[in-house]
């Protein structure tokens, strides 16, 4: 069985000291190792932003995609090779800004993959502009008098769109975060994990420790049932998204389960050798014009 070190590359991360991405980079290999995964059976897809570098810091198959497109690329990889464990990761700008439409359709399509959104509440890589999750009144270079647009609420959004697995973690609790990653990866369908990780450089409105004190831990609520969507929506609204743990989980068939013929022969088993004569014939009309 692969160890934690087997998932760690030799590339040295260049994030800011204290960045929450270091915590995620520790929790991910631990979760993959605990689940008995092997590096050559895992693919990591990332978008643009500080967290986009995660694909290069893990010793798995990696794809550093274009801005906001991590989910559709990850879906294509999973459909092409069903034996891979596919994980997409990106920031709040990547997943809830330019990539928001792909997130919604990823939930709707329900391909068996995991999407981790690291919520910094600010654009870090481009030096501190407001992001889709920046709170009202947030002062940045693009909102010098305070943010006046309401923030996106990813938990409420995912629940109403019909998410099958939804969880929220915090970089201040790595043990819980590791458990949530394992649960998300083990889920048969599209799983979404929001990781709150306030930017240590450009988000000065509250420390990670202060935010953690205000979190409502669903794991400590004996009366909370994660398979009740109405209860999930109610408690997420009640605590304005400031929760941690598995928010919702239901058993359902994934996209692959419902795709006719998908379980018969995987795409990787087909002969994908390029047939140049067929390609030439297809290109002829375009070459003539």
**Domain positions in the chain:** 5-255
**Ranges under pLDDT 50 in the chain:** none
- Is 77 in contact with 95 (CB distance < 8 Å)? no
Angstrom distance (rounded) from CA 151 to CA 147: 9
Residue 265 three-state SS: coil
pLDDT at 208: 57
Taking Cα atoms as reference points, which of 1, 51, 48, 3 lies closest to residue 25? 51
Q: How far apart are CA 134 and CA 219, in angstroms?
A: 27
Topology at the third CATH level for domain 5-255 = Rossmann fold (3.40.50)
Please work out, in degrees rounded to the nearest 5, the angle formed at the alpha carbon of residue 192 by the alpha carbons of 70 and 83. 65
Looking at residue 287, its pLDDT comes to 83
Q: What is the pLDDT of residue 255?
A: 94
Across 69-125, the runs of DSSP E, i.e. the strands, are 85-91, 113-119
CB atoms under 10 Å from CB of 2, counted, come to: 18
């Amino acid at each position: 069985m692969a160890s934690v070190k087997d998932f760690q590359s030799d590339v040295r991360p260049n994030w800011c000291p204290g960045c929450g991405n270091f915590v995620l980079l520790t929790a991910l290999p631990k979760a993959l190792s605990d689940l008995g995964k092997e590096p050559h059976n895992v693919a990591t897809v990332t978008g643009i932003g500080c967290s986009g570098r995660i694909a290069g810091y893990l010793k798995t198959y990696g794809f550093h995609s274009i801005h906001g497109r991590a989910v559709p690329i990850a879906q294509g990889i999973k459909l092409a090779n069903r034996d891979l464990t596919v994980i997409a990761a990106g920031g709040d700008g990547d997943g809830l800004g330019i990539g928001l439409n792909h997130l919604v359709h990823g939930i709707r399509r329900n391909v068996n993959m995991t999407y981790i959104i690291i919520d910094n509440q600010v654009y870090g890589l481009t030096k501190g502009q407001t992001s889709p999750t920046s709170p009202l009144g947030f002062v940045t270079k693009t909102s010098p008098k305070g943010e006046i647009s309401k923030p996106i609420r990813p938990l409420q959004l995912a629940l109403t769109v019909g998410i099958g697995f939804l969880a929220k973690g915090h970089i201040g609790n790595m043990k819980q975060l590791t458990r949530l990653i394992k649960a998300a990866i083990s889920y048969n369908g599209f799983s979404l994990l929001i990781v709150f990780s306030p930017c240590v450089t450009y988000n000065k409105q509250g420390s990670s420790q202060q935010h953690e004190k205000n979190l409502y831990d669903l794991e400590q609520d004996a009366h909370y049932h994660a398979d009740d969507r109405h209860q999930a929506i109610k408690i997420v609204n009640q605590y304005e998204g400031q929760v941690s743990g598995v928010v919702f989980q239901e058993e359902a068939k994934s996209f692959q389960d419902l795709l006719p013929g998908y379980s018969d022969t995987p795409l990787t088993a087909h002969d994908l050798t390029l047939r140049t004569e067929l390609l030439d014939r297809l290109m002829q009309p375009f070459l003539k014009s």
